[in-house]
Amino acid sequence: MRILLVDDEVELTDPLSHVLTREGYGVDAAYDGTRGSEMAAAGSYDLLILDWMLPGKTGLEICQELRHQGKVTPVLFLTAKDTLDDRVQGLDAGADDYLVKPFELRELLARVRALLRRSGSQNYDSVTGKLIVADLELDCDNQVAYRQGRVIELSQKESQLLQYFMENTGQLLTHAQILQYLWEDGESPSSNVIAALIRLLRRKVEVGKETPLIHTVYGKGYRFGTSAID
C-alpha cells in the first residue's frame, strides 16, 4: 500500500513518514502543495494524507482537482481547522475523513487502516460512500444501515462490527480478531460481549424472511455473507 503525505510541518511529516513506513506502508512525502499536487496526479497511491493549509496550493485544492479528474483515491485531511463549517467544506470537496491537529498517533493509524480497508473492499461504493452486500447497505459515517426499505439505526459498536463484517465478506473472523478490532488495548470486555453484540445486530439486520447474513462458525467465530461456508 502506497501513501502520499503532504504537509509543510517537517517536524510532523518526517516522524509520521517513519511511523507509517514501520507499519509496512510505502510512503512518499511532499512539503508544499504544488509538489504534492504533481505527485498525487502522477503517482499511483492508495491513500493521500493532506494538510489543509499548504504553501503553493492548499490541500483542499489538491483534493478538488483529483475529484474533478475522476480519481477516487481516499483522502484524509490533517488540519487545525476544527469548526463544523470547515469539516463540511472538506468533505464536500471530496475528502473521505478528517483529523484535527493535534491528534493521537493511534487514532491516525486506525483511520488509515479503515480507509485502506474500505477502498480495497469490492463491497465499497465510492459514489455513495456506502458498503453494500446483497440488499444491505451501510452508511459508516452516519451509523445507519438500509435493507429492503428499512432504516436501521445502529449503535457505535454495532456499526463498527457490521462494517468489519462487510469489509471482510466470506472470511472467517475469529473472536480474537473481533475483540482486537472493536476494543482498544487494555480494555477487557466480558467473555460473552461479542455473542451479545451479535444477537443485537442480527435482530436489526435480519428481520422476518430476510436472508441471514451473519453465520456462526461454532468454536471459531463468524462469517458474513449470503451463504455460510463450513
pLDDT score for 76: 92
109 contacts 16 by C-beta, under 8 angstroms: no
User: CATH fold of 2-120, please?
Assistant: Rossmann fold (3.40.50)
Task: List the chain domain ranges.
Answer: 2-120, 124-224
β 47-51/75-79 pair status = parallel
> 49 has which bridge partners?
5, 76
**Which DSSP letter does residue 185 get?**
T
> 224 has which bridge partners?
214
166 contacts 131 by C-beta, under 8 angstroms: yes
- Please determine whether the domains at 2-120 and 124-224 fall in the same fold group of CATH: no
pLDDT score for 97: 86
Q: What is the CATH number of domain 124-224?
A: 1.10.10.10
**What's the pLDDT band for 191 if we cut at 50, 70, 90?**
low
Longest CA–CA span in the chain (Å) reads 57
* Angle subtended at Cα 223 by Cα 221 and Cα 227, rounded to the nearest 5 degrees: 140
119 contacts 74 by C-beta, under 8 angstroms: yes
Of 169, 135, 129, which is closest to residue 150 (Cα–Cα)? 135
What is the grid cell recorded at 86? 470547515
* Angle subtended at Cα 161 by Cα 128 and Cα 122, rounded to the nearest 5 degrees: 40
Helix and strand element counts for the chain (H, E): 8, 13
β 75-79/150-153 pair status = unpaired
pLDDT score for 5: 93
**What's the pLDDT band for 120 if we cut at 50, 70, 90?**
low
- Distant-in-sequence contacts of 173-177, Cβ < 8 A, 24+ apart: 173/221, 173/222, 173/223, 173/224, 174/220, 174/221, 175/221, 177/221
What does the pLDDT look like over 25-38, one tens digit per residue? 889 999 999 999 99
What does the pLDDT look like over 88-108, one tens digit per residue? 777 777 788 888 888 888 888
